Amino acid sequence: MALQITITEAGKAEVINAANNGTAPVLITAVGLGTGKYAPDPTQTALQSETKQLSTIAGQAVSSDTIHVTIKDETTDVYSVSEIGLYTDSGTLFAVYSDQLNAFMQKTAESALMMSVDIIIGTLDATNLTFGDTSFSNPPASETVSGVAKIANLAEAIAGTDDIKIMSPLKVKQKVDNAINDLINGSPGALDTLNELAQALGDDPNFATTITNALAGKSDLTWIKSLGLGDTGTTYISDLNAATTGGKYAFNIGTLNAPFNYGTLDVQVRGGGEVIQIAREHNGAEVQSRKRLGAGTFTTWTPEWNNDNCPSSLNISGYQKLRSGLIKQWGYLSVGTGAPTMTITLPISFPTAFIGANLTIKSSTIGTSERNPRFWGETLSNFQANFGNADVVDAYWEAIGY
């Protein structure tokens, strides 16, 4: 129980003086018991009708303005109590309480007295008080004080508003069960058990249809593969004619209907059943494409021209391959006197045919014998040339083929 006890002036002065001179806390060593019934006066220095003093008192501060006091008497004395007082180790009556009407405690010879009270001490700091014996103190439990706590009933547990009482395992289970029941009761009528809730995504149309419709909007796996994303990987295929679904594929030696031995294949599917295949050689040197309309057959693989298909060597003697397949080659040489005929070797050989050549002499003056440069004896890799020169001259040539 909690008592609004009266702090005496002498008790207050002792606590204040102790705090000021550094001797705090004040030690409470005894409790007086009596039969007086009156309104306590802060000026009193003793109980009105004290019958016994006990040194078996324990206590501690449980908040800034409250102390918890436990009093024990295991003697065979017989008495009633209507007033109590707390004494310091200097004999000062620190605080007093009296019930003006009735005794609030009775002790018989066969019983032991054990009384625990919470005493509110007002503006004084409870931490400035201490007790001589703390071995049997039973303060109220809190988040910072170990002590005695009351167990909440079911209504208090479900309400969840009491921050002092504790819950037994049974009350915890009942509260959890109540919360689960509230969840189930708030579900659609078709889902009135936990088992049905667990199966709802797969079994109940109220939920399954919604989830199925949402999943229907997922990205197609083969389309994701065409982007080269993550662990979706690339599908190896044994016959490129079978690759008619949009996506990214790979092929190697032995793959049927492939334009080269190793590479990757991108397949695009357009409206009307049009299928476009683009094959890239594994080293990037060549790109070819073909297409198929509807249920027809694929067209012949056709090179897709890019920088790798049009190599060049841009030097004083060099070449350039054009997208059409035509190859232009050129060169420079110095022709000495007395060596009018020479073999000119091409930077690269023409794959199929040598078409023709053009010879030019670089000179500010040209003699009669230097006016008729000519070529003959052409092969895929060289040709014969005569510049008809009588002097040393610089000459240029061009050749075309495919």
The dihedral built from the CA positions of residue 176, 179, 181 and 183, taken in this order, carries a sign that is: negative
Q: In what order do the strands lie in the sheet with 341-345?
A: 341-345, 382-386, 374-376
250 plus 344 within the same structural domain: no
More confident residue, 159 or 320: 320
Q: In what order do the strands lie in the sheet with 247-251?
A: 235-236, 247-251, 263-270, 274-281, 287-292, 302-303
**Which range (79-88, 189-198, 262-271, 317-326) has the least confidence?**
189-198
The closest alpha carbon to 66, from 127, 18, 13, belongs to: 127
Residue range 38-75, pLDDT digits in tens:
999 999 999 999 999 998 888 777 777 788 888 888 89
More confident residue, 305 or 355: 355
Report yes or no on 145 lying in a domain: no
Cα(28)–Cα(295) distance, rounded to whole angstroms?
105
Residue 51: C-alpha distances to residues 39, 173, 192, 329, 361 (Å): 18, 51, 69, 133, 145
Most confident of 167-171, 218-222, 230-234, 356-360: 356-360
Report yes or no on 24 lying in a domain: yes
Number of domains in the chain: 4
More confident residue, 130 or 323: 323
Cα(308)–Cα(320) distance, rounded to whole angstroms?
12
Query: Could you tell me the maximum CA-CA distance found in the chain, to the nearest angstrom?
Result: 159
pTM of the model: 0.37
214 plus 231 within the same structural domain: no
29 plus 87 within the same structural domain: yes
Domain that holds residue 84: 3-131
Structural domain ending residue among the three candidates 97, 131, 165: 131
201 pLDDT band, cuts 50/70/90, is low
3-state secondary structure 361-380: EECCCCCHHHCCCEEECCCC
Residue 302: C-alpha distances to residues 6, 252, 292 (Å): 108, 19, 13
251 plus 181 within the same structural domain: no
Structural domain ending residue among the three candidates 193, 218, 243: 218
pLDDT at residue 351, as a whole number: 95
Whether 230 has a pLDDT exceeding 90, the answer reads: no
Q: Is 106 exposed, middle or buried (0-12, 13-18, 19+ CB in 10 A)?
A: exposed
pLDDT at residue 226, as a whole number: 47
316 plus 292 within the same structural domain: no
Report yes or no on 139 lying in a domain: no
Mean pLDDT of the chain: 81
Q: Which two tokens stand for residue 36?
A: 């007086």
pLDDT at residue 136, as a whole number: 46
Q: What is the mean pLDDT of residues 304-332?
A: 87
pLDDT at residue 33, as a whole number: 96
Cα(249)–Cα(238) distance, rounded to whole angstroms?
10
Structural domain ending residue among the three candidates 166, 190, 218: 218
Report yes or no on 142 lying in a domain: no
Whether 259 has a pLDDT exceeding 80, the answer reads: yes
Cα(393)–Cα(343) distance, rounded to whole angstroms?
16
Whether 214 has a pLDDT exceeding 70, the answer reads: no
Residue type, 323: R
375 plus 395 within the same structural domain: yes
Residue range 327-355, pLDDT digits in tens:
999 999 887 666 567 899 999 999 999 99
Report yes or no on 147 lying in a domain: no
More confident residue, 150 or 43: 43
92 pLDDT band, cuts 50/70/90, is very high
180 pLDDT band, cuts 50/70/90, is confident
Q: What is the mean pLDDT of residues 267-283?
A: 88
Give the SS3 label for residue 252.
Answer: coil
Report yes or no on 143 lying in a domain: no
The closest alpha carbon to 71, from 83, 59, 63, belongs to: 59
Cα(119)–Cα(126) distance, rounded to whole angstroms?
10
Q: How far is CA 399 from the centre of its chain?
A: 67
Whether 380 has a pLDDT exceeding 80, the answer reads: yes
Cα(296)–Cα(310) distance, rounded to whole angstroms?
32
Cα atoms in the 13 Å half-sphere on the side-chain side of 200: 16
